[in-house]
Amino acid sequence: MSADAPNYDELLDLRRDLHRHPEPAWREFYTTARLVDTLETRPLDELYVGPEVLAADRRGVPDDAELDEWTHRAIEAGAREDVVARLAGGNTGLVAVLRRGPGPTVGLRVDIDGLPITEADGASHRPAAEGFRSENEGFMHACGHDAHATVGVGVLDAVAASDFEGTLKVFFQPSEETVAGGEPMAEGGHLDDVDYLLALHVGLDHPTGEVVAGVDGFLAVSHFRAEFSGASAHAGGHPERGRNAVQAMAAAIQNLYAIPRNHDGATRVNAGLVGGGTASNIVPEEAFIEGEVRGETTELMEYVDDHAQRTLRSAAEMHDCEVDVEYEGRAPGGESDDALASVVSAVADETRGVDSVLASDDLGGSEDATYLMQRVQERGGLAAYVCVGTDHPGGHHTPTFDVDEETVRIGVDVLSGAIRRIAAERP
């Protein structure tokens, strides 16, 4: 590619096209196909898609009807049918590989999924005003993953056009919002020879021009869905014939929040979406809890999870009900390696448009990039989670979220610069 790479006009067109087509976890058919289309025009060495990049075990995959609906929607929106066919079963996502000689292998992880949030529609919301508001009503890129994917393409362009020596792999990961995509991608094989891994997030309350070189403070997290089942009965006539799934659910909720605090650090538990029963006068046969447990470390998360599992089972048993608990997503804790973050920091300091560089900052939330980071770190590699600030009008996960598109350029410059220097310096 020529010296004028990357082409930002093309990149911003891509970002807005992805923004118009937000797709939730394991349903990123249009997104994956659009990225394949784009990347096939690049001088890449390898491009792996769907089942080629994911381990077989995946959590939280929707049922076939749901997958069919989104497959259909993607094709109607113009996705290439041959690519979509390769994503059968919701095996979305891709990995692009650029091989430039004998140097180290550097990975970049970007995520690509959207959220079940209805996008704002007012004149002050730029996507609405400028015609790239979500066309999938009820869904939205409200966390900047459209920009992440775009930066991933831009970095490939920039590195390809540079004197980089080594291998670059860009991981376009699905299903981050449900913390379900990280684990199968970490175990998909393509990470096993990665020496250095960078992961990207934009915003996080940092303004345009600020960069955090190595984000820390990830809470390990596990999402679960518990389904209680008992037996219904006429609540007036024969209450004794019921096995009350709502009573089981309520006992579980009360006791989940009461799991003991832990000396070793912060823990969290939440029963975030619950429901049960059918009508006032029927003893409820079914109920469910969608919840999560978190911990400052993976061990602390597992401590809460052990208690939570026992609480759910005992609450069911107490009311003579059954309970089925499914994990829907999970991510370990994690930390950025200082040695790698230092390189990012040094490059950011020299990057046009960057006026503030923080060595580290606490996320205070969860992210399944930690699975990929952990995979690399366990094998002796280094990893850093980089935040590229962006002025965002609304908060993350709100209807008025948007990114300052200048961030795409800064992100490409910082990350491609860091990748080149990492290959050169091997920190």
What tokens appear for 221 in the block?
């997290």
Binding status of residue 61 toward a copy of itself by CB under 8 A: no
Binding status of residue 234 toward a copy of itself by CB under 8 A: yes
6 upstream amide cis, omega within 30 of 0: yes
Number of residues that bind a copy of itself (CB under 8 A): 67
Q: Which CB atom, from 7 or from 255, has the smaller least distance to a copy of itself? A: 255
Query: Measured from the CB of residue 217, what is the shortest distance to a copy of itself in angstroms?
Result: 10
Instruction: Select from 364, 379, 394, 426 the one that contacts a copy of itself (CB under 8 A).
Output: 364
Binding status of residue 339 toward a copy of itself by CB under 8 A: no
Shortest CA distance to 26 belongs to which of 51, 53, 62, 77?
62
Instruction: Select from 85, 275, 394, 425 the one that contacts a copy of itself (CB under 8 A).
Output: 275
Q: Which CB atom, from 102 or from 260, has the smaller least distance to a copy of itself? A: 260
Choose the binding region for a copy of itself from 13-21, 94-102, 263-271, 413-421 (rule: CB under 8 A): 263-271
Binding status of residue 108 toward a copy of itself by CB under 8 A: no
| Rounded Cα–Cα distance for residues 74 and 65 (Å) | 14
> What b/e readout covers 162-197, taking b as 16+ CB neighbours within 10 angstroms?
bebebbbbbbbbbbbbbbbbbbbbbbbebbeebbbb
Residue type, 346: A
Q: Which residues are registered as beta bridge partners of 384?
A: 198
- Residue with the two structure tokens 């997290």: 221
Q: Which CB atom, from 244 or from 374, has the smaller least distance to a copy of itself? A: 244
* Interacting positions 296-325 with a copy of itself (CB under 8 A): 303, 307, 310-311, 313-315, 317-320
- Residue with the two structure tokens 């006026």: 355
Choose the binding region for a copy of itself from 7-15, 74-82, 185-193, 269-277 (rule: CB under 8 A): 269-277
Query: Measured from the CB of residue 241, what is the shortest distance to a copy of itself in angstroms?
Result: 8
CB 105 within 8 A of CB 167: yes
Query: Measured from the CB of residue 252, what is the shortest distance to a copy of itself in angstroms?
Result: 8
| Rounded Cα–Cα distance for residues 253 and 328 (Å) | 18
DSSP secondary structure string for all residues of 62-98: PPHHHHHHHHHHHHHTT--HHHHHHTGGG---EEEEE
Instruction: Select from 12, 47, 77, 253 the one that contacts a copy of itself (CB under 8 A).
Output: 253
CB 360 within 8 A of CB 214: yes
CB 339 within 8 A of CB 350: no
What tokens appear for 198 in the block?
């960078």
Query: Measured from the CB of residue 305, what is the shortest distance to a copy of itself in angstroms?
Result: 13
The conformation of residue 324, written as its DSSP 8-state character, comes to E
Binding status of residue 255 toward a copy of itself by CB under 8 A: yes
Annotated binding-site residue numbers for Mn(2+): 143, 145, 177, 201, 397
What tokens appear for 219 in the block?
């809470």
Annotated binding-site residue numbers: 143, 145, 177, 201, 397
Chain positions contacting a copy of itself, by CB under 8 A: 219, 221, 223-224, 234-242, 244, 246-247, 249-251, 253-255, 257-258, 260-264, 266-268, 270-284, 287, 290-292, 294, 303, 307, 310-311, 313-315, 317-320, 328, 364-366
